[in-house]
Structure 1
Amino acid sequence: MSTLDAKKIEEAEALIGQTDSAANEYAKAGMYFKAATAYRIAKSFDKRKDCLLKAIDCYENNKSWFHAAKSYEQIILLAKETDKLSEVEDYANRACCLYQQHGSPEAAAAALDKAAKMTESKHPDLALGFYKRALAVVLIGDSTHQASEFASKVSRILVRLKKYEEATKALKKEISLNLQTKSYGQVGRLVVALILVQLTLEDYVDAKKTFKKWGNRCDPQEVNTLQNLLKAFDDEDPELATKMLASPFIRHMDWSTHFYLKMCHYQKEIVK
């Protein structure tokens, strides 16, 4: 143990020893929080977490919901540092509830967003839950623009997880939100994505309905590609379908690869 670590542990223990004489719960929470900071510097992770949990209890006893939520966010960061991402879900949801109780939906959504980004790589299912809840939180606050951003994240993870049925619903929701915010430039690409997902599900009828309903939101290149792609499926023409799927704007969609390969496989099945 280094001299600095020993000094910080001594500092933390001194702060904890003073908590019994604290003037009130808020002051006691502050002491535990400072002790947690000292333990962080000393890399004493378990004791840091214990102090943060005690600080949260004190903040909640004092009805300081915002500070309690911020302390939970510190535990979430600790879970990342110690590679215990499975613990993030409980603490992120608690932080969200406390922020909402305080009347801070923006902070609640931000906490969920941070947790999602933290877990998305190794635990996409967990991140999906965070993004869904963040979407629900901002919709309560009628923040349509922010809701469209979370809806986009939900759609992308659903496609990544190959949950195509659910992805179609999410994409329709995303289209609706972008129409509400008059973000028409986004709608065309979302229509393309929705039709690709529907064709991945081999749901040609719904794909045609989508094109009929929202095709006018697409630019000329998108319209031409979708018309030919739908024709290829209708005519069972794998060569035309493969050519359309290779269109630059489809291949460059940042999350299209997940269903591109499956659709190419489907086209090969037609040939047999």
Structure 2
Amino acid sequence: MAATQKKIEEALAHVREAEKSLKTSLLKWKPDYDLAADEYNAAATCYKTAKQYSQCRECLLKAVENYKLNRSFFSAGKCLDQAALVSKEIGDFETIFKLCERAACMYQEHGVPDTAALSLDKGAKIIESTLPEKALHMYEHAVDIVMTEDRPRQAAEFQSKVSRLNVKLQKYDEATDSIRREICYHQAGENSPAIGRLTVALVLVQLARGDPVAAEKAYREWGSYCEQEEVNTLEMLIQAFDEEDGDMARKALNSPFIKHMDNEYAKLSRCLPVPKTSQETKKPGVTDTYPPYTSSSSGDVDALAKGVGDASISQGDDEDLDLC
């Protein structure tokens, strides 16, 4: 208890120094924003040690404003990242989204887009289970940031998180578009094995939508990248749905290859609506009453296939400027 009180008093002393450095006088015409920011940052550290998280975040945000006034954008971004972690301790997940978006803006202003994307990635992981839609936006923003630097391999990594989260949320139209984008990024990065695995994922998503025709089309479009095990599994699966053979479909879905896919795709394979057999009642699972699939962003995906660099999607510059 005594140690906690000592840290709080130490924090208050740093706050007083920060406020003092911002005052002007006859001999001091300009506030010392850099010193004020450092003092607020030090106060935040003391409050964090004392587990006074609300005061800690408040000091960090004051440090951010002073770093911005001093055009120390990287330091401002670091403070925003710390404030996001403190918000996790408080349980304020909505604020984490806002803080990480602001941090990404600061890092971009400083000229370090990689750090901006990583900040969004870390924040999205924290809020993914509670605010999945916000996490989706953050992953997509990270993709756009790295693509401004023409880094398709890194973009594919973030795009894979978009794809898996869409599948988890059963947003199969969006998942289809997302997987196709991911494939195009891997094409640009010359990562053929990943394209083969994603072809299987794309077929599963189309079947989850109840559209075996689109599933077969996906296989014909990307199947040349598949390895023999993937080819055998997909051909058996597509044939099973074409012939409405439930036993064959289950055999294909129980293949070791599909069972050892990424967790969300493995889960999806277990709840696919397989064709009914004569002695079978259809099992509950993924609905098969979706309308025919029409890509909401087919133009974007086609542009990606021709040139990944030209197809990166802007996130709305006006919104990003507001965040800054």
TM-score by length of 1: 0.94
Measured in 2, the distance between the counterparts of 1:20 and 1:247 equals: 66
Q: 1:28 to 1:269 in 2, by over 3 A?
A: farther
The answer as to whether partners of 2:41 and 2:59 remain within 8 angstroms in 1 is: yes
Q: 1:100 to 1:60 in 2, by over 3 A?
A: same
> Offset at 1:269?
8.5
Measured in 2, the distance between the counterparts of 1:207 and 1:109 equals: 33
Whether 1:256 aligns to 2:265 is yes
Q: Structure 1 stretches (4+) deviating beyond 4 angstroms?
A: 269-272
Measured in 2, the distance between the counterparts of 1:181 and 1:236 equals: 38
Q: Deviations over 1:186-236 (max 9, x none)?
A: 111110110111111122222121111111111112111111111111111
Counterpart residue number, 2:69:
61
> Offset at 1:266?
4.0
Measured in 2, the distance between the counterparts of 1:119 and 1:163 equals: 18
- Any residues of structure 2 matched to 1:139-178 within 5 Å, and which? 139-178=147-186
Whether 1:212 aligns to 2:211 is no
Measured in 2, the distance between the counterparts of 1:231 and 1:258 equals: 21
Counterpart residue number, 2:99:
91
Name the SS of the counterpart of 2:261 in structure 1: coil
Paired residue type of 1:193: A
Q: Deviations over 1:147-190 (max 9, x none)?
A: 01001111111111111111111111111111111111111111
> Offset at 1:124?
2.6
Counterpart residue number, 1:24:
32
Name the SS of the counterpart of 2:71 in structure 1: coil
The answer as to whether partners of 1:144 and 1:180 remain within 8 angstroms in 2 is: yes
The answer as to whether partners of 2:253 and 2:270 remain within 8 angstroms in 1 is: no
Q: Runs of 5+ in structure 2 lacking a partner?
A: 22-30, 282-324
Q: Which has the higher helix share?
A: 1
Q: 1:20 to 1:84 in 2, by over 3 A?
A: closer
- Any residues of structure 2 matched to 1:9-88 within 5 Å, and which? 9-22=8-21, 24-88=32-96
Counterpart residue number, 1:118:
126
Paired residue type of 2:265: S
Measured in 2, the distance between the counterparts of 1:47 and 1:269 equals: 64
Q: Aligned-residue CA RMSD in angstroms?
A: 1.6
The answer as to whether partners of 1:162 and 1:258 remain within 8 angstroms in 2 is: no
The answer as to whether partners of 1:69 and 1:94 remain within 8 angstroms in 2 is: yes
Paired residue type of 1:9: I
Measured in 1, the distance between the counterparts of 2:236 and 2:56 equals: 60
Whether 1:229 aligns to 2:237 is yes
Counterpart residue number, 2:5:
6
